[in-house]
Copies of this chain bind each other. A is one copy, B any other.
């Protein structure tokens, strides 16, 4: 059973995307919407809050809500999975595991994964392609407790996230991402088929379970021009944060 406010949000979203409410135009008031959908004002507010986080509408106290855009800012249930994202977008995705070995955690890795330095981790190198072109090099370190499940995954498996969910019920629930640009190193340039020193988009991330237990710490490098990150924000809600310098030494 889907929630009432989700359905209302969907109807309003469709109306906006059909152009029934033009960009820049006003949405009906909460009171009007409550009558139209035969719901309480609270439920209507939940619905428009969904549209607000999608960046479709904006609001100010005292004035009616405004339509800000028509493009659906696709909200992914798949938080981190490159494969699931690419498939949802209709791209042909492939990938292979190039290297996999157990070792002790470095100081940085231990800090990121809430382990002690030297505790066992599983280090994995994966190359992923879009439409047959290599676009992403993943250097992932998994906490020791999940290593056995990772090792059981087929090396040619498209979606590690999905495999871990189906295999052991693991859900990647929360993530923190650090995004910057780096020059391609020797290994990067060989595997991604770019020149040494050419620009790469780097995304470092920690992923945790619902309980906040860190699962993986990864350094993902995208070939320039292959992928763009997109973010919408407002004066009220701003998920994007700038930080100075690199964060290798942060706790």
Q: Chain A: residues with CB nearer than 8 A to chain B?
A: 23-24, 53, 55, 58, 60, 63, 66-69, 73-77, 79, 85, 89, 91, 114, 130, 171-183, 197-202, 208, 210-213, 222, 224-235, 237-247
Contact B85 A232 (CB under 8 A): no
Q: What are 17 pairs between A and B in contact, CB < 8 Å?
A: A23-B114, A24-B212, A58-B173, A58-B212, A171-B235, A173-B234, A177-B233, A180-B227, A181-B202, A183-B198, A197-B197, A199-B224, A227-B243, A227-B244, A229-B243, A230-B240, A232-B239
Total copies of this chain within the assembly: 2
Known: A173-B58, A197-B197. A66 touches B211 (CB 8 A): yes
Contact B200 A233 (CB under 8 A): no
Closest to A230 in B: B241
Residues in B with CB closer than 8 Å to A231 are: 176-177, 179, 231, 239-241
Docked complex Cα distance between A228 and B177 (Å): 10
Contact B68 A212 (CB under 8 A): yes
Contact A198 B201 (CB under 8 A): no
Q: Which of B174, B225, B244 contacts A130 (CB 8 A)?
A: B244
